[in-house]
Structure 1
Amino acid sequence: MRAFYTYLFFQELKEDWLFAIIRLILLLGVTYHVLKHVRDTRAAIGWIGFSWIMPITGFILYAMFGINRVVRRAQKLVSDRPRHNKLFDDLTQFYIKGHFYPLAKVVEGFTQRPLLIGNKVTIFYNGDQTYPEMLAEINCAQTCVFLSSYILKNDGIGRQFADALIKAQERGAVVRVLVDGIGSGYFYCPIARYLKKNNVKIDRFMHSFWPWRMPFINLRTHKKILVVDGKVGFIGGLNIADDNIVACNPKFPVSDTHFKVEGAIVLELTEVFLQDWFFITSEDLNKKKFFPHTNVAGNMLCRVVTAGPDSDMEKIKYTMMQAISLARKSVRIMTPYFLPDDRFLSVLSLAAIRGVTVEIITPKRSNQRLVDWARNKNNVFPIRDGCRIWLERPPFNHSKLLVIDRIWSFVGSSNIDMRSLRLNFEINMEIYHKEFAEDLDDFICAHRHQELTLEDLEKRNFFKKLRDSTIRLLLPYL
């Protein structure tokens, strides 16, 4: 009997040593990988610390959520990017030769996209104005229709778009549709089934039910792009759903701003869509017929800026921060969610301290209650340094706008929060045009309904302050 217990003891000792060796290997593996690949020091410290406390659990969670596996497979499309009507240094526009010239050069440097001349950008408000224009262009399509949307619902307006896409394909146009794997329905996406049934090629961005694909759940495409025949495009914050048709009085109306673009900038929108399509499907559509010669449509200077957790990491954020740092008179932001990180808040605060008028317009109540709670704590810092935050009355405004000095505008799909600026795949467009910026700036100013003050934030009771501070800890994931 004693020999038996001795045998069990040594077996357990052997298993303990084996288990300890496995834990050490996993721990060293995570530590090495974090030190080599994780750029954010706080995230690196967090992953290493968690792995040292719980090696096995830490390894599993880091393998699932800590490793950035997103690497663009469309680099050859970038190398074949069409170069046309490029802005050269000898252009004499005063706002480029003035204090925004460094911005133009910096953004071209890190995006490798030229600032293009000869464009026209038209503003549309809500689905009421935008959808008829988009549908009219799709109904005239002859060569191609490329549509990317975070949300494409299977409701009244969604079916109108689907039917227009089906008819365009029947006319011989090349039709491709890309929707987000969560935004348009994770478990069930009826609009995708409807389009596939009618032979329209549609795919869902990074969508999978398999456990080993779970790391991609947190990486979404938030882009809204429509390109028709390479000559007309749409970009902005507008999803495709009945909720965006405000005149129809939906249960939860969503106001938004969208932009129709004509000119050379449309080819950059085409390029962005084709990169994303190739990334998801491996279908190469980099064909000359999708990049037709474009005539001069207007006098606006424009450039597309993309961002995502890949080679475009935080480029939209860098563009915004550089523009704000160059501001001399005013910075006005309209965003549905205002939850930037400390670096972004610091740039806004420094602008306010040096005398620039900094105003942020955000909904009094958004469609994300947790975001509203978290922003209460976050808003203390910019208000304290002289920024002014305005709360907008309903309906919920989903617009994403930035105007600097009533000269430079930045519009598109990106919210001012850490999810949009770091995790999502986003697309924005910068516009150097004084009259356009003035119109957009006036639109933002018209929504300054109720100013949020430090007194408003301080008079919250203890439990609300504790709740808001706790929720703010989730800031990177909200």
Structure 2
Amino acid sequence: MIDVIQTYWAETLALLSIVLGSLAAVHAAMTKREVRSALGWVGIIILSPLVGALIYGVVGINRMRRAGVVHRRSLALDDIWRDLSLYAISRDVVADHFGGRFDQMKGLGDRVARHPLSSGNHVDLLPTGEETFAAMRQAIDAAEASVILETYIFDRDAIGLSIADSLIRAHRRGVSVRVVVDAVGARYSVPSIIGYLEDAGVPVVSFNGQVIVGLRLPYANLRTHRKILVADGQVAFVGGMNLREGFTGEGAARDTHFRVTGPVVADILAVAAEDWYFETNELLVSPEWRVRLPDAVPGEGAYVRTIVSGPDSHLETNLKMLLGAFSVAEESIRIVSPYFLPDTTFLAALNTAARRGVRVEIVVPAENNLAIVARAMLAQMSEVLKEGCRVYLAAAPFDHSKLMIVDGKWCFIGSSNLDARSLRLNFEIDLEVFDYALAEQIGRRIDGLMADAEELTLDALKARSLPLRLLDRLFWLGSPYL
């Protein structure tokens, strides 16, 4: 066989190129949702024989088939889910408390998100890394039954080790502990925190970590960007903060995290349990994984829905919810994002809101931790500025927060950035929150960022030299892959 290949190597390469190229081109044509994306990939595959098919195999397959376990968990824990249904909220109740237009958001969420909008919840804003990590450690140390943690980056530094040590102590006192760390995020530290936890006997896996010749095929471009911690099925933490030292101390990067209690914790737990099942085939339905129901009265507290997004059956759920929120906004849309690189559909919806007279404010870092992304963002900002949106460059330190409030009553918080990766490629978790008090807290945080920010104008963008503007546009061309 080897002799035949050596003799006919050119013919072998040609045959491989035809077979792999045909398979890749058919897959791209049948699975890509946008004509431009499909044409682009088919062009790369045809114009770069063999190499194009290999590139497509590494970064072009952006949908994953996963066996869902949420329904199976609900069957196994049927009594708990029946009790949680008491906290369900109707569209009429939303309309009474938040206005007629926002009952449409309730209807939209019911159609595109798999989790219900529930009452009886409480959401606490954690404005610093010190407060966030202290609250996490406290929840883990107090856990009696179970702890599950899922994150993108879990560094093996002072902060990461302190969280890991809390998990190890919980494991040793008999608490059921499960840890999921993204395969890419786990490599931000060498050696990885995964080995540290494994050595202590803590059940831990890397998400999408099946490696073939150094690549996570066939889904090498997909990762979990979710940040979830649930202790005893009673308290949960979500937001944008990775587990790393960079968010603490003098001059630290800023971020915003949230501590959540109430019925919605059951849904947050279900999401992390599904990702654990995806890697291990272990269904978390034993007694220690039961949700502890709150004492809150149905109909009170914050109305919260878990928004699950990812390149599986929940593709673009976050994007659909954001587009819906832009369409119902009447007064204001306030956005904080470290990476603002949405697609034309998102920009069109935002610009349409601005044309209707809605005050649109977008806050991004003046100094980004990713210089390439910063340049790509500048190249796109003229698209919103010319339609009446206002853009502010927040002073250092770098702010990694992902925050949005609409009309001072509807909040969107969690792990999603406003870029192609978060809106199409990453597995994300966000919360839709109807709560005046939380919106006011987030509004004050945005006010603080804007107080020290510089407003970006069209004139300032046009005044930049042609070479700089051209460089920005070149980086912008790669924005779907940043």
Shift in alpha-carbon separation, 1:210–1:223, aligned structure 2, 3 A: same
Distance of 2:199 and 2:216 partners within structure 1: 26
In structure 2, which of residues 357, 369, 376 is the aligned counterpart of residue 355 of structure 1? 357
The correspondence of residues 123-162 of structure 1 with structure 2, limited to 5 A, is 123-162=125-164
| Aligned residue number for residue 245 of structure 2 | 242
Does the aligned pair in 1 maintain the 2:341–2:420 contact within 8 Å?
yes
Q: CA-to-partner distance for each residue in 1:3-38, whole Å, 9 max, x for gaps?
A: xxxxxxxxx9x9988876665555543343323222
Provide closer, same or farther for how the CA distance between residues 296 and 329 of structure 1 changes in structure 2, counting only shifts above 3 A: farther
Residue in 1 that maps onto 2:233: 230
Return the alpha-carbon distance in structure 2 between the equivalents of residues 316 and 394 of structure 1.
28
Select between 128-137 and 379-388 the one with higher mean Cα deviation.
Answer: 128-137
Check the 8 A contact 1:307/1:425 in 2, yes or no. Answer: yes
1:19-98 equivalences under 5 Å are 24-68=18-62, 70-73=64-67, 75-81=68-74, 82=81, 84=84, 85-91=87-93, 94-96=96-98, 98=100
2: CA distance between counterparts of 1:390 and 1:405? Answer: 19
Shift of 1:335: 0.7
Deviation, structure 1 residue 91? 2.7
Q: Secondary structure at the match of 1:425?
A: strand
Which secondary structure does the structure 1 equivalent of 2:260 belong to?
Answer: strand
Q: What amino acid maps onto 2:462 in structure 1?
A: E
Contact 2:412 2:430 (C-alpha < 8 Å) held by counterparts = yes
Q: Kindly tell me: are residues 93 and 171 of structure 1, through their superposed partners in 2, closer, same or farther at Cα, counting changes over 3 Å?
A: farther
Deviation of 1:62 after TM superposition, in Å, equals 2.4
Amino acid at match of 2:264: I
CA distance in 2, matches of 1:27, 1:136: 54
* 2:91–2:103 contact (8 Å) kept in structure 1: no
Aligned partner (choices 335, 338, 345) of residue 336 of structure 1: 338
Go from structure 1 to structure 2 and tell me whether the alpha carbon gap of 1:195 and 1:29 turns closer, same or farther (over 3 Å shift).
closer
Kept after mapping to 2: 8 A contact 1:121/1:261: yes
Q: Which residue identity does 1:458 align to in structure 2?
A: K
Q: Are 1:258 and 2:257 counterparts?
A: yes
User: What is the CA–CA distance in structure 2 between the aligned matches of 1:458 and 1:137, rounded to whole Å?
Assistant: 50
1:352 CA displacement: 0.5
Check conservation: 2:58, 2:220, Cα contact below 8 A.
no
Structure 1: any 5+ residue segments left out of the alignment?
1-11
Aligned AA for 2:285? N
Q: Hey, what's the Cα distance between the residues in 2 that align with 1:18 and 1:62? A: 20
Q: Find the aligned partners of 2:35 and 2:259 in 1 and give their Cα distance.
A: 41
- In structure 1, the residue matched to 2:427 is 425
Match of 2:396 in 1: 394
Paired with 2:28 and 2:383, the residues of 1 have a C-alpha distance of: 31
1:95–1:101: 8 Å Cα contact kept in structure 2? no
Cα distance change of structure 1 residues 471 and 215 upon mapping to structure 2, 3 Å threshold: farther
Is the counterpart of residue 202 in structure 1 residue 198 in structure 2? no
Structure 2: give runs of 5+ residues left out of the alignment.
1-6, 75-80
* SS state at 2:165 partner: helix
Q: How many residue pairs end up in the alignment?
A: 461
How far apart in 2 are the matches of 1:241 and 1:186? 10
Q: What is the match of residue 273 of structure 1?
A: 272
**What is the CA distance between 1:53 and its match in structure 2?**
2.4
- Deviation digits for residues 267-286 of structure 1, max 9, x if unmatched? 11110100011112222213
* Alignment correspondent of 2:182: 180
Native 8 Å contact 1:336 1:363 kept in 2? yes
- Residue of structure 2 equivalent to 1:193: 195
* Letter of the structure 2 residue corresponding to residue 62 of structure 1: Y
Q: 2:115 aligns with which of 94, 113, 116?
A: 113
Higher mean C-alpha displacement, 275-284 vs 292-301? 292-301
Question: Match for 1:40: what amino acid?
Answer: E
Q: Distance in 2 between matches of 1:42 and 1:311?
A: 22
Please state whether the residue corresponding to 1:176 is helix, strand or coil: strand
Partner of 1:216: 219
Q: 2:376 aligns with which of 374, 377, 400?
A: 374
Distance 2:163 2:327 in 1: 41
Instruction: Assess, with a 3 A threshold, how the Cα gap between structure 1 residues 290 and 377 changes in structure 2: closer, same or farther.
Output: same
Contact 1:176 1:201 in 2 (8 A): yes
Letter in 1 for 2:245: D
- Deviating more after overlay: 15-24 vs 362-371: 15-24
SS at match of 1:409: strand
Partner deviation per Cα, 1:360-398 (whole Å, 9 max, x = no partner): 001101100000011111101000100000010011111
Normalising by the residue count of structure 1, what TM-score does the alignment of the two structures yield? Answer: 0.91
Once structures 1 and 2 are overlaid, which stretch shifts more, 41-50 or 95-104? 95-104
Q: Is the 8 A contact 1:186 1:207 kept in 2?
A: no
3-state SS of 1:117 partner: strand
Asked if structure 1 preserves the Cα contact closer than 8 Å seen for 2:311 and 2:426, the reply is: yes
Which of the residues 440, 456, 459 maps onto 1:452? 456
Distance in 1 between residues matched to 2:28 and 2:220, nearest whole Å: 21
Letter in 2 for 1:249: E
Letter of the 2:481 partner, please give it: Y
Per-residue deviation, residues 417-467 of structure 1 (Å, max 9, x unmatched): 111111111110010011221221222122111100011111111110110
Q: Which amino acid aligns with 1:349?
A: N
SS in 2 for 1:446: helix
Partner SS state of residue 301, structure 1? strand
CA-to-partner distance for each residue in 1:24-67, whole Å, 9 max, x for gaps? 55554334332322212111111222233234333222233323
The answer to whether the 8 Å contact 2:62/2:219 transfers is no
3-state SS, counterpart of residue 431 of structure 2: strand
Q: Cα distance 1:186–1:151, how it changes in 2: closer, same or farther (>3 A)?
A: closer
Q: Does 1:465 align with 2:473?
A: no
Name the counterpart of 1:6. Answer: none
1:398 alignment partner AA? H
Contact 1:223 1:425 in 2 (8 A): yes
Q: Is the 8 A contact 1:119 1:296 kept in 2?
A: no
